[in-house]
Chains A and B, each alone.
Chain A
C-alpha cells in the first residue's frame, strides 16, 4: 500500500474514533447544565446527585476526547504536510481561535467541575459547568468552520503557482461564514446534543427497568426526553438546510448522495437502495422526482448528475456514500418517531408503563452515534477527490518526507492503542453505570478558608 491510502486510512480511523467522544461531551454538557440548573432552582438533592453522576461519565468521555484529539492536529503536520503548507494561512486562524477560545475554556473549568464540588460554592460550580459546556460548544464552532472551508472555500485568494501555490486569507469573516459553515455547524451541534441525550435516556431507562434509582431516573429521563424530542425535530430542519447547501455548493457530492447519474435530469429520492456504478443505476425503493421536489419544490427542474462532471472530479466510492447518507437519514427519521411517541405517552401520563419502550431507549443510545459517524463519512467521502474542494486534491496533499513504512508503523500503533482504549472505555462506562448515582445525603466537605495554605507562606 502507498503513503496516500495509508495516510487516508490513518486519518479516517483516528478522526472517526475521536468523534465517538466529543459529541458525548457536548451533549452531556448540555444535560449537566440543565440538571445543575434545576438543582440550583429547586434545591432538590436529587438533581445534585444526578449532576454528580453524569459529571463522572462526562470526565471519562472528555478525557479520551482530549487524548485522541491532539492526534489529528499533529497529523496535519506529520501526514499532510503539503496540505498544511497550502491551507495554513486560512485554516490557521480557525485553529488558533479554537485553541484560545474553546479548549482553554473547557479544560480550565474542567478541574473545578470534577474536583471543585467541595471547594467552591454551588453557584460558582454551576458557572464552571457552563464554562465547560460553552467551551465544548465553541470547539465545535471552529473545527466545523475549518472543515466547512474545505468544503466551500471562501474569503481567500491563491498565491504562487504549481507546487508552490497556497491559499491566503483575504476576509476573515467571509472565511468564518463560508457558504456551508453555519448550516453544517447547526447539524453537528444537534447531532451532539442527541448523542448526549440518548446516552442519558438509555442509562436511566435501564435503571427504571431494573427498579434502581427510580425516582432520580424518572426525573432525568424526562429532562433528556425533552431535549431529545426538540433536537430530533430540529435535526430535520438543519439536515434539510445542509442538503440544500450541498446541492448548491457541491453538486457532485449531492449527486453521489442520491446516486443520481444523468447529467441533467429530474431526480428521484431513495428511501433505500443499492448503487451499481458500472450500469449507472440504483435499485431500491424510491420517491419519483423526490429530490427535485425537495430542492426546488416542483416536479420539473432538472438536477445535475454525476455524469455532468469529469471522471477525475467526482467521488468514486459511490455505493458507500449512498449507504452512509441513507443510513443517517433513516436513523434521523426513526429518532423523530421514537421521541414523538414517547412524548405522547408522557403527555398521557403513561411514559414509564411500557417495558418495551424503555428497552428500545436502552439500545437507542447507539443510533445517534452511528448517525453522527456515517453522516461524516458521507460528507468527507463525498468531497473526494478533493481535500479542499476544487482547489487541492487529496493525492497532492501528502507529506513528501514520509514513507509508507512509517505510516504503517503509526497506523498499527494507533490501532492497538485504540482497541485497548475502547475496551477500557466500555468496561469503565459499564462499571460506572452499574455503580449508579449516589443517593445518600452528601456531607458538606467544603473546607474552611483558613485550611487552605497559600504556597507563598513560610513553611
Chain B
C-alpha cells in the first residue's frame, strides 16, 4: 500500500530514521556533556554540568526505547538479526546505559568526596562508551555483515571490533562532544562558561579531523556506499548541506551565537544520519556473502496491514510527544540554577 506515492515500508524506514536521528540529537548532547564531565574540576562546576542535563536526559533516552520499538515493529527481521549478531556490544551498551542512569541518580545522595568522584568517573566513562558503541554499531551497519540465506548472521562474534567501526565510533564521540559542549555553554555562565568555550574549540577540531578521515576511508574502501550519489547527482545537495552546516558551527561559535550554533550541530547530526539513510536505502543490512541475502526494507518489513496501523499510531502520537517535549524544554530554558530539588 502507498501513501503520497511512497510505499509503507519506505515510510516506516523514514520514521525509524527520524526517531534514531531524534535520539542522536537529544541524547547526543547528554552523552557529549557526560564525556566532558571529568574536565570540570570543581564540585560546583560538575553539579551545574550535571543539572544542565538533569531534567531532560531521561526523556531523551526514551527516544532510544521508541527507536528500538519502531525497528522491532517495522523490521523485525533486521531487529532480530542485528541484535543477535552484535550480542556483546549490545549487552555492554545496556550495562553502560544502566551505569549512566544510576550515576546521575546516586551521585548527589552522599557528600563524601570519594563517593562523588566514583560516580563522576562512572558517569563520564559510561557516556564516552555509549557514544563509541553507538558509532561501532553504525560502522558495522555501514560495512555490512555475513548474513546467510536464512537471514541469520554467520560470522564470528568478534567481527564487530574492526578498525572502520572503531573509527566511526570515535567520530561519533567527537560529534557528540562538540554538540554537548555547545549545549553546556548555553546552560552555564562565568568561569565555567569561559572554560567550556576553550574546550569547544578543541572539540570542533577533534570532530573535523576524525570526520575527514572517516569520510575518506569510506569513499576509498567502501565504495558501494557512494553508488547512489554517483547515479543521482542531485543527491549531492545533502553532503553539501552537511558540509555547510558543519562549517557554520565554528562561525557561529566565534560570534557567540550559541543558540544557532546548537541548532546547526543538531542539524549536522540529522544530516549525517540522513546521508547514512540514503547510502543504505533500500537496504538495511548489507550481506557480505551475497547481495541477494541483504536485508532490505522489503524483505524484512512487517506486513502492510501492521505498518498501516503503526503509522496511524505514530501520526497521532508524534505531535503529542513533540508538544510536551517543547513544553519541557521551554520550562527549563536558560542558565542552570541549582535549587533544593537539583542533583
A binding-site residues for B, Cβ under 8 Å: 59-60, 63-64, 66-71, 73-74, 76-79, 81-82, 84-85, 87-93, 95-101, 103-112, 114-120, 131, 163, 166, 168-170, 172, 399-403, 406-407, 409-410, 413, 417, 421, 424, 428, 431, 442, 445, 447, 451-459
Distance to closest chain B CB from A65 (angstroms)? 10
Instruction: Collect the chain B residues with CB atoms within 8 Å of residue A169's CB.
Output: 303, 305-306, 309
Question: Are A92's CB and B76's CB within 8 A?
Answer: yes
**What 0/1 readout, one digit per residue, does chain B (253-282) give for beta carbons within 8 Å of chain A?**
000111110100000000000000000000
**What 0/1 readout, one digit per residue, does chain B (228-264) give for beta carbons within 8 Å of chain A?**
0000000000000000000000000000111110100
Question: Are A103's CB and B65's CB within 8 A?
Answer: yes
Instruction: Collect the chain B residues with CB atoms within 8 Å of residue A60's CB.
Output: 105
Contacts A71-B94, A77-B80, A131-B324 given: A92-B306 contact, CB under 8 Å? Answer: yes
- Partner of B76 from the list A84, A109, A403 (CB cut-off 8 Å) is A84
Question: Are B258's CB and A92's CB within 8 A?
Answer: no
Instruction: Collect the chain B residues with CB atoms within 8 Å of residue A79's CB.
Output: 84
- Partner of A114 from the list B55, B62, B64, B85 (CB cut-off 8 Å) is B55
Question: Are A401's CB and B87's CB within 8 A?
Answer: yes
New contact pairs (7) apart from A74-B94, A77-B84, CB-CB < 8 Å: A97-B317, A108-B328, A109-B328, A115-B342, A169-B305, A401-B154, A442-B340
Question: Are B58's CB and A63's CB within 8 A?
Answer: yes
Question: Are B328's CB and A170's CB within 8 A?
Answer: no
Question: Are B88's CB and A81's CB within 8 A?
Answer: no
Instruction: Collect the chain A residues with CB atoms within 8 Å of residue B306's CB.
Output: 89-90, 92-93, 168-169
B interface, size bucket: 35 or more
- Partner of A88 from the list B101, B302, B314 (CB cut-off 8 Å) is B302
Question: Are A119's CB and B80's CB within 8 A?
Answer: no
Docked Cα-Cα span, A221 to B313, in Å, equals: 40
Distance to closest chain A CB from B127 (angstroms)? 14
Question: Are B337's CB and A93's CB within 8 A?
Answer: no
Q: Which residue of the partner chain B has the closest CB to A88?
A: B76
Instruction: Collect the chain B residues with CB atoms within 8 Å of residue A78's CB.
Output: 83-84, 87, 90-91
Question: Are B88's CB and A100's CB within 8 A?
Answer: no
**What 0/1 readout, one digit per residue, does chain B (52-77) give for beta carbons within 8 Å of chain A?**
00111011011011101110111111
Question: Are A409's CB and B91's CB within 8 A?
Answer: yes
Q: Which residue of the partner chain B has the closest CB to A420?
A: B102
Instruction: Collect the chain B residues with CB atoms within 8 Å of residue A453's CB.
Output: 333-335
Docked Cα-Cα span, A170 to B58, in Å, equals: 35
Instruction: Collect the chain B residues with CB atoms within 8 Å of residue A64's CB.
Output: 101-102, 105
- Contact residues of B: prevailing secondary structure: helix
Question: Are A455's CB and B68's CB within 8 A?
Answer: no
Instruction: Collect the chain A residues with CB atoms within 8 Å of residue B313's CB.
Output: 93, 96-97, 100-101
Q: Which residue of the partner chain A has the closest CB to B15?
A: A96
Docked Cα-Cα span, A424 to B115, in Å, equals: 12
Distance to closest chain A CB from B151 (angstroms)? 8
Docked Cα-Cα span, A349 to B332, in Å, equals: 46
Question: Are A70's CB and B72's CB within 8 A?
Answer: no
Question: Are A115's CB and B55's CB within 8 A?
Answer: yes
Docked Cα-Cα span, A101 to B303, in Å, equals: 22
Q: Which residue of the partner chain A has the closest CB to B70?
A: A96
Docked Cα-Cα span, A428 to B186, in Å, equals: 32
Docked Cα-Cα span, A43 to B93, in Å, equals: 46
> Is B331 close to A, CB under 8 A?
yes
- Partner of A67 from the list B91, B102, B309, B325 (CB cut-off 8 Å) is B102
- Partner of A445 from the list B64, B88, B91, B339 (CB cut-off 8 Å) is B339
Instruction: Collect the chain A residues with CB atoms within 8 Å of residue B317's CB.
Output: 97, 100-101, 104
Docked Cα-Cα span, A84 to B337, in Å, equals: 45
Question: Are A119's CB and B65's CB within 8 A?
Answer: no
> Is B310 close to A, CB under 8 A?
yes
Distance to closest chain B CB from A200 (angstroms)? 20
Distance to closest chain A CB from B99 (angstroms)? 8
9 A-B pairs with C-beta separation under 8 A: A63-B58, A88-B73, A96-B310, A96-B314, A98-B69, A111-B55, A403-B157, A406-B91, A459-B257
> Is B98 close to A, CB under 8 A?
yes
Docked Cα-Cα span, A440 to B27, in Å, equals: 37
Which of B58, B75, B157, B305 neighbours the largest number of chain A CB atoms within 10 Å of its CB? B58
Distance to closest chain A CB from B253 (angstroms)? 11
- Partner of A108 from the list B59, B151, B302 (CB cut-off 8 Å) is B59
> Is B293 close to A, CB under 8 A?
no
Distance to closest chain A CB from B65 (angstroms)? 5
Question: Are A84's CB and B79's CB within 8 A?
Answer: yes
- Partner of A93 from the list B99, B150, B309 (CB cut-off 8 Å) is B309
Instruction: Collect the chain B residues with CB atoms within 8 Å of residue A85's CB.
Output: 76-77, 80, 151
